[in-house]
């Protein structure tokens, strides 16, 4: 196990296994070839060609979303997709642009549309040493059950902005009050492109750092985290190097934290793999 | 002008215009096709094939370096290369590996071998506002004369490590004493791949942050910088967005600084272009 193994795992996307998914001549997703084939019979919604798929459903966001939902429902019924999450993500060619439609969170990777999330590093300094708050995911989470996770992390649902998602998740997941989360500093984004069981995860994580007071103790309120522990940041990094204990993309978020805070030794043989591997450029 | 324009300018590399340069079946550089053709007659040093070039000179580092130097001398004489810089860079397939040979700094981009440098953000906080020390490059610099630059920046010459290069350049370029530069924090690396007049610049900049005391004033000692000024970091970023006043890759270094220090607005339409554009993955 190495840092690079985690970076590679999050970037195992293989261009040969996918076709681009277009809307109005702009790419909005990546469809694995088997997923593209499964869309061929929904001719009023998708036009499946040999090397690309087009969205052909027309109308406003509600109309297109309804057309896509019918397809998602059919795919759920034939077990190509997990059950509905009943939480929708906006789909647009670019962050900040007007969405073309909304899609259920469970189908995001099927269509390979970009999935946006927030991730909060909650840390404190004890006698010069940086400590990180680390959570453990509940055993009944669909994705990465029991894995170690960041203090706060969550997907950006339809209609929510970045800061609003952070505040909501910080409250639900870790009991961080509004007065404290306001001090969180946006420090960039992690980007990766990963094939998973469902399709392609085009992941973008907006990353925040929050220095927490010594008397703050996180309390989970939504049942998604079973416990929190405070760990020396250097121990977190050693454990990332040696194990698969952390959720796949959380490895990358903590490596970014270590890099930015000078906790990674510049003579580490993997220093440049980490520095160059956490921000896959958009195509 | 936009942030993305600067990122694109540093990543204008076009795979179709180059061929890989191999040593023992490992790629060590990218040769523009006209440069590859110019090497064809040096058969004891290079084997030029249609879609790749191999290093065939054999021997220890000194022997291979001498063979490459003869080629460089011939290319300088026919004005394919600028005059000798008399400063050599190590060439290896990967940072930290044993070098295969040394090459004059002026020929690094001709062969498209990776060029490593250090870059120091020197900043201070005045009443909550972050200020950056910005230098102006001398008018007689070959590369980017008169452009605005970071407080300290320099290439990593043969035999120098990262920290040693930083200390040396910090002393020569800005008069930063050893006792101060020791506090500099390594915070990652910028990576880019750029075609320039000579060939391909495969740039890697190890980035450091150094918070400077209010009474520190930089003094240049090597004639490479004509003046230094303290600028609010937000003004630096606005000027990067609006102008071409900064050296090409320094735009990227300051954008990275702004991102890591929370100085870039998360709602900036270019936020994700910046977050995903400063660290081109190694191939």
Q: Please give, rounded to a whole number of angstroms, the shortest distance from the CA of B48 to a CA of chain A.
A: 30
Task: Characterise A202 by phi-psi region: left (phi > 0), alpha (psi -120 to 50), beta (else).
Answer: beta
Spell out which residues of chain A touch residue B163, defining contact as CB-CB under 8 Å. 266
Residue pair B7/B194 in contact (Cβ under 8 Å)? The answer is no
- Is some CB atom of chain A closer than 8 A to the CB atom of B51? no
- Helix or strand holding residue B21 (H, E): strand B18-23
Alpha carbons A238 and A245: distance in angstroms, whole number = 11
DSSP A107: G
How many angstroms separate the CA atoms of A17 and A22, rounded? 16
E strands, chain A, where? 18-23, 26-32, 46-48, 53-55, 88-91, 101-104, 114-126, 129-137, 148-150, 152-155, 185-195, 200-211, 225-232
pLDDT given at position A37: 98
Q: Which of the residues in chain B have pLDDT under 50?
A: none
pLDDT at A32: 98
Given B162, B191, B277, which is nearest A266 (Cβ)? B162
Helix (H, G, I), strand (E, B) or coil at A68: helix
| Nearest partner of A273 among B1, B188, B59, B168, judged by Cα | B188
> Are the beta carbons of B277 and A280 separated by less than 8 Å?
no
- Which contiguous run of DSSP H or E holds residue A64? helix A61-77
Q: What is the ipTM of this complex?
A: 0.95
Q: Calculate how close chain A gets to B258, using CA atoms only, in Å.
A: 8
| In the block, residue with structure tokens 């200390």 | B167
Partners of residue A164 in chain B, C-beta under 8 Å: none
Among the partner-chain residues B189, B262, B272, the one whose CB lies closest to the CB of A187 is: B262
The predicted structure's pLDDT at residue A273: 97
Return the number of other C-beta atoms located less than 10 Å from residue A106's C-beta: 20
B179 Cβ contact partners less than 8 Å away, ≥ 6 residues apart: none
Could you list the pLDDT tens digit for every one of the 283 residues in chain A? Answer: 999 999 999 999 999 999 999 999 999 999 999 999 999 999 999 999 999 999 999 999 999 999 999 999 999 999 999 888 889 999 999 999 999 999 999 999 999 999 999 999 999 999 989 999 999 999 999 889 999 999 999 999 998 999 999 999 999 999 999 999 999 999 999 999 999 999 999 999 999 999 999 999 999 988 889 999 999 999 999 999 999 999 999 999 999 999 999 999 999 999 999 999 999 998 8
Closest CA to A83 of A63, A105, A67: A105
> Which residues in chain B are closer than 8 Å to A272, comparing Cβ atoms?
95, 189, 191, 204, 282
pLDDT of residue B283: 80
Size of interface A-B (CB pairs under 8 A): 89
Instruction: Give the per-residue pLDDT at A67.
Output: 98
pLDDT at A122: 98
The per-residue pLDDT for B71 is 98
Confidence (pLDDT) at B258: 98
Report how far apart the first and last C-alpha atoms of chain A are (Å, whole number): 29
The shortest CB-CB distance from B280 to any of A186, A264, A276 is to A276
Q: What are phi and psi of B165, to 5 degrees?
A: -65, -45
Mean residue pLDDT across chain B: 96
* Cα distances (Å, whole numbers) of residue B64 to A221, A236, B94: 65, 43, 18
């Amino acid at each position: 196990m190495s840092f690079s193994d985690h970076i590679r795992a999050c970037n195992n996307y293989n261009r040969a296994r996918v076709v681009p998914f277009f809307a109005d001549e702009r790419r909005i997703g990546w469809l694995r070839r088997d997923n593209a084939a499964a869309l061929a019979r929904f001719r009023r919604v998708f036009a499946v060609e040999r090397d690309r798929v087009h969205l052909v459903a027309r109308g406003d966001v509600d109309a297109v979303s309804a057309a896509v939902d019918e397809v998602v429902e059919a795919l759920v019924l034939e077990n190509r997709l997990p059950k509905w999450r009943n939480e929708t993500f906006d789909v647009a060619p670019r962050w900040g642009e007007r969405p073309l439609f909304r899609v259920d969170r469970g189908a995001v990777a099927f269509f390979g549309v970009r999935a946006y999330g927030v991730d909060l590093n909650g840390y404190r300094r004890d006698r010069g040493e940086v400590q990180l708050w680390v959570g453990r995911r509940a055993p009944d989470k669909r994705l990465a059950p029991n894995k170690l996770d960041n203090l706060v992390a969550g997907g950006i649902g339809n209609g929510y902005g970045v800061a609003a998602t952070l505040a909501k998740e910080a409250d639900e997941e870790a009991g961080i009050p509004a007065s404290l989360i306001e001090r969180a500093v946006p420090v960039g984004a992690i980007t990766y492109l990963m094939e998973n069981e469902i399709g392609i995860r085009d992941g973008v994580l907006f990353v925040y750092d929050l220095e927490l007071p010594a008397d703050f103790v996180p309390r989970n309120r939504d049942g998604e985290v079973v416990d929190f522990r405070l760990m020396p940041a250097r121990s977190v990094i050693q454990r990332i190097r040696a194990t698969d204990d952390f959720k796949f993309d959380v490895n990358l978020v903590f490596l970014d934290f270590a890099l930015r805070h000078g906790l990674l030794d510049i003579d580490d043989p993997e220093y440049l793999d980490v520095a160059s591997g956490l921000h896959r450029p958009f195509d």
